[in-house]
């Protein structure tokens, strides 16, 4: 039962939510943040997309490539920039979901990965949960995710 609740919470955490203006303040640009060294974030070594997403392949996979909008199965851990864990699938079963049903940072950051690959994403608030608190994620949070692509389709 706990595993079912954990999986449901994990999927809920990843679901796209509309951001409302709650008046939350904080840095909206990842370059303004000091990342916990344990996260291994070096923005100067990452690729930045036009939308502001940063990504870095930690290990390039050799399997099938994930495409925009399709279902993927992943293991992941997500943190706030200060190193606070916000969610993880490690220690349980990998999570399967559609890339159409997650935050924009994931919809943009996962396609192009190959099965077996590992990628780090740094997701600014505009591509994550925006200005509002979302469960244990404060408004205007920059998120860091390590993702391992386990399967596609």
Q: How far is CA 137 from CA 60, 112, 121, 125, in A?
A: 29, 27, 16, 10
Structurally, the chain folds into a number of domains equal to 1
Containing domain of residue 74, as a range? 2-20+27-152
- 4 pLDDT exceeds 60? no
pTM of this prediction? 0.84
Rounded Cα gap, residues 73 and 103, in angstroms = 16
**Quick one: tokens of 128?**
């994550």
Of the candidates 143, 70, 81, the residue with the CA atom closest to the CA atom of residue 110: 70
CATH (domain of 52)? 3.10.50.40
**What tens digit of pLDDT does each residue of 23-59 get?**
345 567 999 999 999 999 999 999 999 999 999 999 9
């Amino acid at each position: 039962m706990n595993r079912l609740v954990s999986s449901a919470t994990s999927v809920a955490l990843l679901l796209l939510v509309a951001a409302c203006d709650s008046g939350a303040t904080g840095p909206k640009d990842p370059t303004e943040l000091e990342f916990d060294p344990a996260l291994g974030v070096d923005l100067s070594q990452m690729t930045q997309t036009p939308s502001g997403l940063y990504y870095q392949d930690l290990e390039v996979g050799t399997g099938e490539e994930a495409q925009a909008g399709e279902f993927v199965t992943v293991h992941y851990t997500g943190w706030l920039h200060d190193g606070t864990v916000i969610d993880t699938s490690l220690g349980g079963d990998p999570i399967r979901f559609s890339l159409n049903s997650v935050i924009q940072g994931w919809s943009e950051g996962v396609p192009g990965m190959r099965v077996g690959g590992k990628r780090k994403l740094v997701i600014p608030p505009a591509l994550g949960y925006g200005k509002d608190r979302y469960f244990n994620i404060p408004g205007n949070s920059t998120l860091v995710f390590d993702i391992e692509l386990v399967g596609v389709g």
